[in-house]
Structure 1
Amino acid sequence: MQDFTINSNISFGGYEWRILDKKDDALLLVTEVIIDQRSYHDAYEDITWADCSLRKYLNGEFFEKFTDTEQQRIIPVTNKNVDNQWYGTNGGVDTEDYIFLLSLEEVCKYFGDSTMLLQNPKKNQRYWFERKDANNSKRLARLYDKNGDWWWWLRSPGRLNNKAAYIHGTDGNIGIQGNNILKGNISDGWCTGGVRPALWLKV
């Protein structure tokens, strides 16, 4: 296999992707920038990644944007959707995905290693992941054709199942308490969360 470098970029399907991991002949990719703004779900109700409208969009309409040849290179994977480690909120069942969002565990692992901070919250840390984590800045992402950074969704639940975890757009901190899953839409002028799709690509 070609010597792909972790954290370098490659082009695929009309997008620039960052390489987060590589195993045998496959790469874990996430889009370098936020490519869209969407709500996590289309109703304000308890939901998990398995049944949310954003998952349906990514594995349906978004996946269909790739050519047949490109689709054949996208590897379906089983994603573990664990409970929120701080609140015990239900993460839902395992899912079979072509396209997905990163989890709390994955953003702590792949954007510098902050896994121990995730597993050992400080006494007064109830709403935000470690604000002084040296890896926070690595999670910042620009909003497609805009100059500024924006907040973006994770697939993990927040403190309630009508909230989903996210990455803050100002400092890259992890909003482990979550943000409301239904945030309106762009035409309404509401602040919708950024979408950075992830996938495993055959190389």
Structure 2
Amino acid sequence: MKKGTVVLAALLLAVTLGILFHHHQRSQRYAQALRLAESGDASGAYGILVGLGDYADARERAAGLVEEDPALPYRGAAKGDVVSFGSFEQDGDASNGPESIRWIVLERFDDRLLLLSADVLDGRQYNHVPFQDVTWADSDLRAWMNDDFFDAAFTPAQRGIIPSVLNDNADQSITGAPGGAPTQDRVFALSEQESVVYLSGGANRSDIGEALASEYAASGALTVTEDGTADWWLRSPGTYGFAAQFVDAAGTPVASGANVDVLYGARPALWIDLSEVGGGGR
């Protein structure tokens, strides 16, 4: 047998043994995941199944665990992470179904995460009536976020881990334009105070404040920069009662605001309750 043939045979044997060893490792990990799931350790099982990718029915089993406990993928999330939760039309092609929504984890308090959509998901008016005083409580944007968007973006099980929170809608910090009554919201726009906390400094404005508009959002009348970013609404009042604050396309909050009938981007925010096992409902 020629030397070259021997070397080739040795290489093929090494590759074959490597493949068999890798398959054996994955098989052992898969079996471990099944044991963990049976013992009630869903988090441990989920982590292994996700890591196995397309091995056997790992994806389907991981999805089944999430269906039973929608908070499962997010229990290890930390401030600054980007996670996927819910789905919404974003690529402008409705025929292929909605795309997963990416969220930035703005904060973690014990078993709750504050999320802000990583992208501008739609172009919306804060309110459709020009030069009419309005607060967040009665705005079109609030109605859209808590009704149309909420119903379209989340399954009944996912809705079960999105708590209704009491938002204190403070007056404008400079002129004192009224912020209106406190509101109970499942989904909301960030406030002036929250923009100060999370968008202070150049890095935060670049990493969090500056947001790309989805193809769907950009396909309408929304103004989008050459870089693909857009202005987006906050929920707090601007200088006057018929203005609302926003964050400009470069990620800088604008406290003076813009007229409420202007079309700006919508970046929903919400809390996820990690202690809840989703049971459906609004």
Counterparts in 2 of 1:1-203, with a 5 A limit?
2-14=75-87, 15-44=101-130, 45-65=132-152, 66-112=154-200, 135-138=204-207, 139-145=209-215, 148-169=228-249, 171-183=250-262, 192-203=263-274
Larger Rg: 2
Superposition deviation, residue 2 in structure 1: 3.2
Q: Which runs of 5+ in 1 are unaligned?
A: 115-132, 184-191
Superposition deviation, residue 35 in structure 1: 0.3
Choose between structure 1 and 2: higher strand proportion.
1
Superposition deviation, residue 195 in structure 1: 0.3
RCO comparison, higher one (Cα < 8 Å, 6+): 1
Distance 1:4 1:173 in 2: 26
Choose between structure 1 and 2: higher helix proportion.
2
Distance 1:135 1:97 in 2: 25
Q: Deviations over 1:74-104 (max 9, x none)?
A: 1110001000101111000100000000001
Q: TM-score, normalised by structure 1?
A: 0.81
Distance 2:170 2:108 in 1: 22
After the TM superposition, which segments of 4 or more aligned residues of structure 1 sit over 3 Å from their partners?
Answer: 133-136
Q: Counterpart of 1:143 in structure 2: which amino acid? A: A
Q: TM-score, normalised by structure 2?
A: 0.59
Q: Which runs of 5+ in 2 are unaligned?
A: 1-73, 88-100, 219-226, 275-282
Equivalent residues, number = 175
Distance 2:258 2:183 in 1: 22
Superposition deviation, residue 26 in structure 1: 1.1
Distance 2:181 2:166 in 1: 10
